[in-house]
Chain A
Amino acid sequence: MAEVVILGAGVSGHTAALHLRRMLGREHSVTVVTPNANWNWIPSNIWVGVGEMAKKDVVFPLAPIYARMGIGFRQAKATAIRPKGDAQDSRGAVDVEYTAPDKAGATDRLRYDYLVNATGPRLRFEATEGMGPGGFTESVCTADHAVEANHKLREVIATLKAGTPQTLVVGMGHGTCTCEGAAFEYVFNVDHELREAGVRDLARVVYLTNEAALGDFGVDGMIFDQQGFQTTSELWTGSLFRERGVDAILGAHVSKVEERTIHYETLDGTTHTLEFDFAMLIPPFGGVPLRAYDADDNDITAEIFAPSGFMKVDADYTAKPYEEWRATDWPSTYAAPGYDNLWAVGIAFAPPHQISRPRKSPNGTMIAPSPPRTGMPSGVMGKTIAMTIADRIKHGPRAEAHTASMARMGAACVASAGAGLTRGSAAAMTMLPVVPDYQRYPTGRDERETRGELGLHGHWVKLMLHYLFIYKAKARLGWQLIPE
């Protein structure tokens, strides 16, 4: 009998848990440890943030799903991992602290044979003074944040209806943020809502981003083949900004937010302020605060985790300039070095470097998007790890690891630009691979599969993915047939 413990129930952790349960006999246990009682389809938080969906449409309780599937569920946060066990037992262990109301604060040590770290991000609002729901800006990173963002947006729309001009700022709250796609989606959904409310002419809408160029999306931009010509995602995205009348401020690091004022620095080293009435800024991500100890209780956190808090895996972490970055730098098995029973997937793994060219202002401020590793790639990683673990349990520890490098896998990115079955719109992009491979493709990616299109169909795709992935996450009949 083998015990598998999965930390986190986001896209990668939940996917790994469902597939492991499907692949393994009931003599083996699969346990998920997550501080949250609910699963959240985060891509649809954008629509909660503009009032097009309610919180109940994007979250559901995990406990009944895991009870039905035979997956153990501990509503707790992991505080430490002990990959070599402790003085009592040489098996690996995880220290957890319960967050469920009936056991809040209680601690436990869970033993494992295989451990998957899929803990997702820590939302580092504190990285920028005054940012976040506790400060002066909104967020759509959680369903609750999105509900609050919509509440504030409605107040601004009411003010606009009363005839008072307003400035709405959407973007990235720090120079090293990731998930530019989410801010891109939100800014155009806000624009769409303002138009629907008939108040767009009184509103100034600003997209404030750490991307050096529009359409970078933290993946170094894309080159599309459009009707026989190469087009950059920069020009393609710029067209949408111009059409919608959204101002863009590029290469920006937000240093501080005060009530109605954002302070930021741009790549040329100059500093600026931007007055606002409503702002939604995505925070930078960090790893969740997890420590690591050896069997003698010595702290080995620096051995297991990068300084960012993300777990080191089979990537090449050698520091080198952008020109020397290679597709092979990226991990493929997601195994922690030196361990054959410990993996990190989704946002939890430490990337070898950015994907976009890193830049610094003359003042030394790093203004460089961090690499995205959410959505489709996260799900693929979760399933890949599940296959590796299932093989090792069934065929022994020497069973070959399955692989899924972001430098080989593709991804679809559907960025909503307004909701509505007949009036909606989205920028629908596909890219293969996610991490450009300039040794393999002249443009870094497969031109046949790397495309971008704007239109109503993108909204339908995003809506379809919303229902499909919630259906899948609920493990309903045939869930395993829906690809990651």
Chain B
Amino acid sequence: MSQISMHTPAAGGDPIADLSKAPLPTGKTLKMRQNLAFQFTRFLSFNSRILRMVIKGHH
């Protein structure tokens, strides 16, 4: 079931998806997404996940 509905278009308008229910990131989240030290740990975590997948799921 889709959580993001489309607006009923006004005459001649575009049926733009209603994103008002999509959560906005907080200021802290936005900061952490650009924080070099934190992002470095996420970089390592993501790479370890790819490697695990290569080992587990490829063949």
Interfacial residues, chain A to chain B (CB-CB below 8 A): 206, 212-214, 232, 234-235, 238-239, 241-243, 247-251, 266, 268, 270, 272, 274, 380, 384, 402-404, 408-412, 422-423, 425, 428, 430, 432-433, 449, 451, 453-458, 460-461, 464, 483-484
- CB-CB under 8 A from A403, the residues of chain B are 59
Q: Could you mark each residue 20-51 of chain B with 1 if its beta carbon is under 8 Å from any beta carbon of chain A, else 0?
A: 11111100000011111001101100110111
CB distance from B17 to the nearest CB of A (A): 4
A-B contact pairs, 28 of them (CB 8 A): A206-B14, A213-B3, A213-B4, A214-B4, A234-B2, A234-B3, A235-B3, A238-B22, A248-B16, A248-B17, A250-B6, A250-B17, A380-B59, A402-B59, A403-B59, A404-B58, A410-B54, A410-B56, A428-B46, A433-B57, A449-B53, A449-B56, A451-B49, A456-B36, A457-B42, A457-B43, A458-B46, A483-B54
**Given A239-B24, A239-B25, A250-B17, are A425 and B33 neighbors across the interface (CB < 8 Å)?**
yes
- CB-CB under 8 A from B23, the residues of chain A are 235, 239
Question: Are B14's CB and A272's CB within 8 A?
Answer: yes
**Given A404-B58, A430-B50, A449-B53, are A243 and B34 neighbors across the interface (CB < 8 Å)?**
no
Interfacial residues, chain B to chain A (CB-CB below 8 A): 2-4, 6, 9, 14-17, 19-25, 32-36, 39-40, 42-43, 46-47, 49-54, 56-59
- CB-CB under 8 A from A422, the residues of chain B are 34, 36
CB distance from A262 to the nearest CB of B (A): 10
CB distance from B23 to the nearest CB of A (A): 5
Cα(A241)–Cα(B25), bound, Å: 11
- CB-CB under 8 A from A241, the residues of chain B are 17, 19, 22
- CB-CB under 8 A from A457, the residues of chain B are 39-40, 42-43, 46
Q: Which 6 A-B pairs have the closest CB atoms?
A: A238-B22, A410-B53, A457-B43, A455-B33, A457-B42, A410-B57
Number of residue pairs A-B, CB distance < 8 angstroms? 131
Cα(A237)–Cα(B18), bound, Å: 13
Cα(A455)–Cα(B4), bound, Å: 23
Cα(A428)–Cα(B43), bound, Å: 10
**Given A250-B6, A410-B53, A432-B53, are A243 and B24 neighbors across the interface (CB < 8 Å)?**
yes
Neighbour of A408 across the interface among B2, B32, B46, B57, CB < 8 A? B57
Cα(A466)–Cα(B16), bound, Å: 34
Question: Are A214's CB and B17's CB within 8 A?
Answer: yes
Cα(A232)–Cα(B22), bound, Å: 11
Question: Are B17's CB and A249's CB within 8 A?
Answer: yes
Question: Are A461's CB and B43's CB within 8 A?
Answer: yes
- CB-CB under 8 A from A425, the residues of chain B are 33-34
Give the residue name and chain of the B residue nearest to A414 (CB). Answer: B46
**Given A206-B14, A456-B34, are A483 and B51 neighbors across the interface (CB < 8 Å)?**
yes
Give the residue name and chain of the B residue nearest to A411 (CB). Answer: B53
Question: Are A430's CB and B17's CB within 8 A?
Answer: no
CB distance from B57 to the nearest CB of A (A): 4
Give the residue name and chain of the A residue nearest to B53 (CB). Answer: A410
CB distance from A430 to the nearest CB of B (A): 5
- CB-CB under 8 A from B35, the residues of chain A are 456
Cα(A454)–Cα(B30), bound, Å: 9
- CB-CB under 8 A from A454, the residues of chain B are 33
Cα(A402)–Cα(B34), bound, Å: 42
- CB-CB under 8 A from A251, the residues of chain B are 6
Cα(A284)–Cα(B42), bound, Å: 35
- CB-CB under 8 A from A384, the residues of chain B are 59
Question: Are A380's CB and B4's CB within 8 A?
Answer: no
Give the residue name and chain of the A residue nearest to B13 (CB). Answer: A272
Give the residue name and chain of the B residue nearest to A241 (CB). Answer: B19
Question: Are B9's CB and A272's CB within 8 A?
Answer: yes
Apart from A409-B57, A454-B33, what are 18 other A-B pairs with CB-CB below 8 Å? A214-B4, A235-B3, A235-B21, A241-B22, A242-B20, A242-B24, A249-B16, A270-B15, A380-B59, A402-B59, A403-B59, A404-B59, A412-B49, A423-B34, A430-B50, A456-B35, A460-B39, A461-B46
Neighbour of A247 across the interface among B14, B34, B59, CB < 8 A? B14
- CB-CB under 8 A from B20, the residues of chain A are 242
- CB-CB under 8 A from B57, the residues of chain A are 408-410, 432-433, 449
Cα(A272)–Cα(B16), bound, Å: 11
CB distance from A482 to the nearest CB of B (A): 10
Question: Are B49's CB and A248's CB within 8 A?
Answer: no
Q: Interface centre among B6, B25, B32, by most A CB within 10 Å?
A: B6
Cα(A268)–Cα(B54), bound, Å: 41
Question: Are A412's CB and B42's CB within 8 A?
Answer: no
Q: Interface centre among B4, B21, B39, by most A CB within 10 Å?
A: B4
Question: Are B15's CB and A430's CB within 8 A?
Answer: no
Question: Are B22's CB and A242's CB within 8 A?
Answer: yes
Cα(A422)–Cα(B40), bound, Å: 11
CB distance from B10 to the nearest CB of A (A): 11
Question: Are A484's CB and B59's CB within 8 A?
Answer: no
- CB-CB under 8 A from B49, the residues of chain A are 412, 430, 449, 451
